[in-house]
Structure 1
Amino acid sequence: MPSAQEIIAALTGSVKVAQRAPDALRYFDLSADAFWRSFTAIFYALPFYLVFITAGWRMGQEAGVELASSLPAYALSELFAYASLWALYPLAIAGLTRTTGLTRNFAPYVIVYNWSSLLIAAFMVPPYIFYSLGLVDVGGASLFIFFLFISVLAYRWILATQVLKTNGLIATGIVALDVGLSVLLAQLLQAMRGTGAA
């Protein structure tokens, strides 16, 4: 398990990536063991995802979208997708970096990507909390989420250019791959549930 010092340093480095700081990578442990430890970020981000799931369920109900037969069923399917994405995305990136000659930077990219996912989860959670507290309606929360999501895409693009040390076009393809995998998993889950607009 990573130490508290390693986690704090990685989160600091994730912020530095957003700032395009030239020394951002020095905040990360880039060793082989640290590569595998970075996947523990999935557990630290889990509380945020539980907020996304429970608030997202209520938002779907309010918007008239049948997400699943029950909240527990919806939560299980979303957690399955969450875990699947953490497994599938590094595999997809491994293939892409081989194709583009960026293999040398694969491990650092995955390490930074994994830890930055924890930062992104914290960044994305406010509209879900505001909705849960009744401070915004589903429309307001959805608009807030959309603008935060655009910011996340920009961040992922910066991360790809900085850590993989690649050009903007390839970085755009990497971000598109990330989004594409998420959409594909969402579509598969929806097909399995047989749900849609009520």
Structure 2
Amino acid sequence: MLSADETYASLAGAWRLMFGKADGLRLLDLSADGFWNSFFAIVVAAPALIVGWVGIANEVGDPDAFAGRLGMLVRLATVDIGSWVLPLVVLALVAPRAGIGGRFVHYVVASNWASAIIAWLMLPSALLRLLLPSASEVSSLVSLALFALSMVLTWRMTNTTIGKGAAVGTAVFIGMFVASLLVLFGLQALLGIDIPDGTTG
């Protein structure tokens, strides 16, 4: 487990990258240990993610069956973690052929920590869904605004971390976004999760 100082430095580095500041890479541990330790970001993101899972599970699970909601919670967690990790596996296979193999570790480390920040950034919409389920329209608007902001920040992180110009950075960003969506929808279908439009976000 990483220390609090190491975690803070990693989050600070990712935050700077999300604002286009390349010196954020200096705060990240890009060693082999740092690569694997960056997946600790999933643990950092977990509390915020759990709020979202609980909110959705309450809406699409059986409201009268705790086991049903718990099962839905586990499936939602599987989908989110799969959508986080599996696209990185695909990138590992593609990166050398795409000419960005030398930046793969940089991207994974930065992306993992940035994803933890994004999870907390999306927390307000998850709290609205959980605490005020009747305010679905407000929750959807907040979710949309935060999602748009997260996409901008993620694009800047990707472009800055890859460091090969906006065209290559944008291509990686789009590729990873599409891969994440494919994994997301694929796992939802595989696990039998049907989320109504009003609960997405």
CA distance in 1, matches of 2:179, 2:166: 20
Matching of residues 70-81 of structure 1 within 5 Å: 70-81=68-79
Which residue in the other structure is 2:142 paired with? 144
Identity across aligned pairs (percent)? 26
- Kept in 2: contact 1:10–1:28 (CA 8 A): yes
- Kept in 1: contact 2:18–2:114 (CA 8 A): no
Instruction: After TM superposition, give the deviation of residue 196 of structure 1 in Å.
Output: 6.3
- Kept in 1: contact 2:84–2:180 (CA 8 A): no
Gaps of 5+ in 2: 62-66
CA distance in 2, matches of 1:152, 1:90: 18
Which residue in the other structure is 2:119 paired with? 121
Instruction: After TM superposition, give the deviation of residue 75 of structure 1 in Å.
Output: 1.1
Which residue in the other structure is 1:132 paired with? 130
Gaps of 5+ in 1: 62-68
Matching of residues 28-67 of structure 1 within 5 Å: 28-58=28-58
Instruction: After TM superposition, give the deviation of residue 74 of structure 1 in Å.
Output: 1.7
| SS of alignment partner, residue 20 of structure 1 | coil
Which residue in the other structure is 1:166 paired with? 164
Q: 1:42-75, CA deviations, whole angstroms, 9 ceiling, x for partnerless residues?
A: 12211111111111234558xxxxxxx9322221
- Kept in 1: contact 2:17–2:157 (CA 8 A): yes
Question: Judging changes above 3 Å, is the alpha-carbon distance between structure 1 residues 163 and 5 closer, same or farther for their aligned structure 2 residues?
Answer: same
Which residue in the other structure is 2:64 paired with? none
Instruction: After TM superposition, give the deviation of residue 135 of structure 1 in Å.
Output: 8.7
Question: Judging changes above 3 Å, is the alpha-carbon distance between structure 1 residues 180 and 70 closer, same or farther for their aligned structure 2 residues?
Answer: farther
Counterpart amino acid of residue 148 in structure 1: L
Counterpart amino acid of residue 32 in structure 2: A
Query: Root-mean-square deviation (CA), in Å?
Result: 2.4
CA distance in 2, matches of 1:188, 1:127: 24
Which residue in the other structure is 2:8 paired with? 8
Aligned residues: 191
Which residue in the other structure is 1:64 paired with? none
- Kept in 2: contact 1:130–1:136 (CA 8 A): no
Farther off after superposition, 172-181 or 99-108: 172-181
Farther off after superposition, 102-111 or 168-177: 168-177
